Structure 1
Amino acid sequence: MSADRIALKGLRARGRHGVLAAERELGQEFVIDATLFLDTAPAAAGDDLTKTVHYGELAQALVAVVEGEPVALIETLAQRLADVCLAAGEPVQRAEVSVHKPAAPIPLPFDDVVVTIERSRV
């Protein structure tokens, strides 16, 4: 398995995900980190974008998921985002996705709530 990675960190989008009705109605900002594991050598050898992942298009696809159909759990949102990452191109072998919910409805001081998952093609 290749050690090459393409990482997209701190992607922000507004979504209506959560268990509480207020979260669904008002929405909140989510922050996404996505790391794709792939072999970048073929792309580098030919300076060929078609042999790697277009991270601009990936960012747009991930934001579309966050802004799309609401889910109760950020675990579900993370899975949907990982599915998008794995579908980003044939060279992607594995993806790690973190969903940050910095405005989670917790009545105590905290910095962030994060769910991180890792998924692979096999």
Structure 2
Amino acid sequence: MHVMTPTAGALLACTALIACGGGDWESVKIEKQAPAASSVRLEGCVVDGAGRPAARAVQALRPDGQLAGTTVSAADGVFRVDVPARAVLRVESLGPSSDGITLMTGETSLSLGGCLRG
């Protein structure tokens, strides 16, 4: 009677898997990764003190105060601006009692979850 130890069984299983997985190495396709985006589209909205859509200037600033993007919201309050990818930015509206938000961009477009008050 032959008894197989767990180690011998594992070695036999590994050998069988290696033998099955050989294949043709020339058929392996290596895909290049797309280059990282240098800018992303940021979308949001601006409302006035009463919560109504407002046409206001909007700016995106880097932590050092350098301007990273600027635009004006439309009459419906919606704005779109291209800003640097992978950056920490302060996005704010310019107007009476304006506010802003600090965010970090990634590599895809993003939309603010709420409106800037300005």
What TM-score comes out, normalization by structure 2 length?
0.28
Bigger radius of gyration = 2
Indicate the structure with greater strand content: 2
